[in-house]
Amino acid sequence: MSLVTIGGHAATRCRVTVADWGLWWLDANLQEPEELRGRVTCQVADKTLQGCVVSGGAYEGRAAYRIVGGAGGWGTDIPKQGYANPSLGVQMATVVKAAASACGETVEGFPTSSVGPHFARVAGPASRVLNAVAPRGWHMGFDGVTRYGVRATASYTGTDPLTRVVPDGSIVELSPETIGGLVPGVTINGSRPASDVEYLIDPTRLTVRVYAGARRSRRMAAYARIVEALFPDLRYRGTYEYRVVQQIGYRFDLQPVRSVTGMPDLQSVPVRPGMAGLKANVQLGELVLVTFADNDPTRPQIVAHDAPDAPGYMPLFLDLGDGVTLGVARMTDPVVAGPFGGTIVGASARVRAGL
């Protein structure tokens, strides 16, 4: 029996990423080339997750999908709207519920506190409203409902074997039979509360990876402050995994995959493609790698796109050069006259990926 089913169909491999705030995401490969669309129920070990297909599909006898928690609405664009209540103030719940209604999501638990006498909702992804009124203060439940507040903390009391422990306690891996209480907020052997948890499932095994942040003694914390003072750009010397939230032209709005990194959301990030002259319109939810040129926090760059076996790997469109005068050749394209004599293959400057 499969440890994971997506819409009632067995999966061979699955990865679920859950952070202490924001949306959860699920990537899965199915045993059969099943076609899935819209809302789906996912059974991951002992947990039932309600989500929506964002990308993926069936191809050559296989199927892979990327699924986001809820109705998939927080990543869609909603129109601008203004609010005003000078006497009592605009209520946070009013703003959030209106955004949820506009994008088809369900919310509960948001307080009636005021966000001020006025609030201007700009056009764009609906999640911007949540990040504006409750930054890092909301999360998507496994039941597909968006909730306000910090996740509860609890100690892990299970006896499942620890298969990997980073010496500072920042990462712990287990091989349990069920997920149980292994969710953001859990503490293991006195660790800090987990900020991120991943569930990795293959046909026979469940692995839970818990990211808790490094444990530091007072002395180590003092050393860390000295190092950070000597090397203020140290954080920007690494490579970080981000998720695409929105693409405008060939610039991207991104969110870190794991909040434990401490990295912020990024907006309008350019791409440095590995192949000269190539541009792409990617699928939302795609995972990319980001570095900072010359360790400069003002110069984030996307340097790699998703892995070839990921559900969101295939872009929506590819442009070669300016996307107008240069074509992308496909095996099925006709031979046409070239602009400077001779012949070329490929009459289309913009090619829909996968055709």
pTM given for the model: 0.81
pLDDT band at 197 (very low <50, low <70, confident <90, very high): very high
**Domain ranges in the chain?**
1-69+151-215, 77-129, 235-315, 317-355
Place of tokens 């969101």: 312
pLDDT at 215: 59
HEC assignment per residue over the chain: CCCEEECCEEEEEEEEEEECCECCEEEEEECCCCCCCCEEEEEECCEEEEEEEEEEEEECCEEEEEEEECCCCCCCEECCEEEECCCCCCEHHHHHHHHHHHHCCCEECCCCCECCCEEEECCEECHHHHHHHCCCCEEECCCCCEEECCCCCEECCCCCCEEEECCCCCEEEECCCCCCCCCCCEECCCCCCCCEEEEEECCCCEEEEEECCCCCCHHHHHHHHHHHHHCCCHHHHCCEEEEEEEEECCEEEEEECCHHHCCCCEEEECECCCCCCEEEECCCCCEEEEEEHHHCCCCEEEEECCCCCCCCCCCCEEEECCCCCCCCCCCCCCEEECECECEEECCCCEEECCC
CATH class of 1-69+151-215: mainly beta
302-324 pLDDT per residue, tens: 999 998 888 878 888 877 766 55
Of the chain, the percentage scoring pLDDT greater than 70 comes to 86
Q: Is the pLDDT of residue 71 over 90?
A: yes
What mean pLDDT is reported for the chain? 85
What pLDDT is recorded for position 214? 59
Indicate if the pLDDT at residue 327 is higher than 70: no
CATH topology of domain 235-315: OB fold (Dihydrolipoamide Acetyltransferase, E2P) (2.40.50)
Per-residue pLDDT at 325:
53
